[in-house]
Amino acid sequence: MIRETRQQVQGRLGAIRDASGANDPHRPDFCTKPRPQHIQTGKLFCGSCGGVFGNSGRDYLASNAAKMQAVCDNHRTIRRQVLKDIVLDALRARLMEPSLVALFISEFTVEWNRLQADAGRPRAAKARAGPDRAQVIWPDRRYRGWATRGWHQGTARSARGL
């Protein structure tokens, strides 16, 4: 009896693996590939040739097409830390604008309340009480604090410490 049940379970698990593509020999092996060590890996492209930027020494990035294939004339390099600082400064300048933050908060409120209503939670009824009394059911208290008392300044301050 136990052996038959085990065989049925194993057959069902095999069918599930086949249906999901887990047994596909051409499926990428995410577990065997190492993750990139740096966040910029594979996300930077050369302005001259459009090729991918890659490692050029320990702390530098350069165009792979110029370095390995000699088809690009862009032989300039950039330090990882300099690039990281440029990206973080651009994000701070563009994403921390109060008008954009207000737009995000209003859209987040609408979407979060819709999800709460779809989940059938009783608190969603309080959130839909009316436009003048709409209360957001925040998933975390930090969001409510950030939204109500100038959180973008504190976030920009903490982002500088990254």
Per-residue pLDDT of the chain (162 residues; tens, 9 = 90+): 788 899 999 999 888 888 877 777 777 666 677 777 777 777 888 888 888 888 888 889 888 888 788 888 888 888 999 988 988 888 888 777 778 778 888 888 888 888 777 776 555 455 555 544 445 555 555 555 555 555 455 554 544 444
pLDDT at 49: 87
Instruction: Report angle CA 12, 18, 20 to the nearest 5 degrees.
Output: 105
pLDDT at 115: 79
- Domain identity same for 85 and 125: no
pLDDT at 53: 86
- Domain identity same for 50 and 72: yes
Number of domains in the chain: 3
Kindly give, in sequence order, each residue whose CB lies less than 8 Å from that of residue 131, ignoring residues fewer than 6 positions away: none
Residue written as tokens 């930027």?
Answer: 53
Q: Is 63 helix (H, G, I), strand (E, B) or coil?
A: strand
Cβ–Cβ under 8 Å, residues 105 and 98:
no
- Domain identity same for 87 and 133: no
- Domain identity same for 100 and 153: yes
pLDDT at 109: 87
Q: Is 60 helix (H, G, I), strand (E, B) or coil?
A: strand
- Domain identity same for 103 and 149: yes
pLDDT at 79: 92
* Structural domain of 46: 34-93
- Domain identity same for 100 and 156: yes
